Amino acid sequence: MITARTPVGYRRALRIAAALLGIATSLGACMHTDEVASTTSSIPDDYRLRHPIAIQEANRSVVIFVGRARGGLSAEQRADVMGLAQVWLQESTGAIVADVPVGTPNARAAADAFREARSLLSAAGVPPHGIVMHNYRPSDPRQMATLRLSYPKITAVAGPCGLWPDDLGPSIKDRGYLENKPYYNFGCAYQRNMAAMIDNPADLVQPRPETPAYAPRRAEGFEKYRKGTSTATEYPDADKAKLSDTGK
């Protein structure tokens, strides 16, 4: 039986349904916002965490240009080979690989240069099994074939740099701009340059052990302290090297 109260109850049911739909929509928007926030927070703000310095194995190479009519090495090239041998004894993690070209106009001269380089490496202390020869053919015939000496070593690297996932300008799509955060590539060049300047990558992980103290100098300081005299070092000839009396 239809009564006069039916339209009122119907409108009330519609209002309740609309309210429930609004609550569900707002909850869905909150969940979406939380999801975006969690994705954004996964990118660290600290450039040291966003572009970390990694320790890995990489090659160190010396490239020797050899002409077609000259065999052997020049004075500068011999110095490069001797320098390579000295650092190889300290930091290498593998053998020295010599890439010698074949089938090129300077192939014979490159072979003579390799024989001289191998003699220099052996004289510097590199054992025979520490030198491996590898023949190659240049992919581009217009490019000059070179003699390349390389070996693996532990090195510090960072990057790659130049990644721009977001726009630097004001944009509603750039979450970092809206939240006043540094752009993604910030600090990458600094980390890469810092990694290139590190002499011993192990210093990033652990400190070096202390060297032994200089016992004669320490004994002299203790003796002055025992006598009650000044332990400071005096340099009577220090003023003789000055070129100006400004500041006196």
Q: 194 pLDDT exceeds 70? A: yes
Q: What architecture is the 60-157 domain classified under in CATH?
A: 2-Layer Sandwich (3.30)
Q: 2 pLDDT exceeds 70? A: no
pLDDT bin (cut points 50, 70, 90) of residue 43 is: low
Segments making up each domain of the chain, as ranges: 60-157
Residue 181, pLDDT score = 77
Residue 34, pLDDT score = 45
In angstroms, rounded to a whole number, what is the distance separating the alpha carbons of residues 112 and 222? 62
pLDDT tens by residue, 11-22: 666 677 666 666
| 18-22, 38-42, 146-150, range with the lowest pLDDT | 38-42
Dihedral, CA of residue 215, residue 218, residue 219 and residue 222, to nearest 10: -160
Average the pLDDT over 132-138 and give the result.
93
Average the pLDDT over 164-185 and give the result.
73
pLDDT bin (cut points 50, 70, 90) of residue 122 is: very high
Comparing 119 with 26, the larger pLDDT belongs to 119
| 68-72, 87-91, 219-223, range with the lowest pLDDT | 68-72
The DSSP result for the chain, as a single string, is: ---TTHHHHHHHHHHHHHHHHHHHHHHHHHHHHHHHHHHHHTS-SSHHHHS--EEEEEEEEEEEE--TT--S--HHHHHHHHHHHHHHHHHBSSPEEEEEE-SSTTHHHHHHHHHHHHHHHHHTT--GGGEEEEEE--SSTTSPPEEEEEEEEEEEE-------SS-SSS-TT-HHHHTT---TTTTHHHHHHHHHH-S-GGGGTSPPPPPPP-HHHHHHHHHHHHHT---SPP-TTGGGG-S--TT-
State the chain's mean pLDDT as an integer. 82
Residue 7, pLDDT score = 59
In angstroms, rounded to a whole number, what is the distance separating the alpha carbons of residues 136 and 223? 67
Burial 139-175 (b: 16+ CB within 10 A, else e): eeeeeebbbbbbbbbebbbbeeeeeeebeeeeeeebe
Residue 32, pLDDT score = 44
Residue 84, pLDDT score = 95
Percent of the chain exceeding pLDDT 70 equals 79
Q: 140 pLDDT exceeds 90? A: no
pLDDT bin (cut points 50, 70, 90) of residue 1 is: very low
Residue 163, pLDDT score = 82
Beta bridge partners of 147: 64
Q: Exposed, middle or buried by CB within 10 Å (0-12, 13-18, 19+), for 11? A: exposed
Residue 52, pLDDT score = 93
Q: 29 pLDDT exceeds 90? A: no
Residue 47, pLDDT score = 87
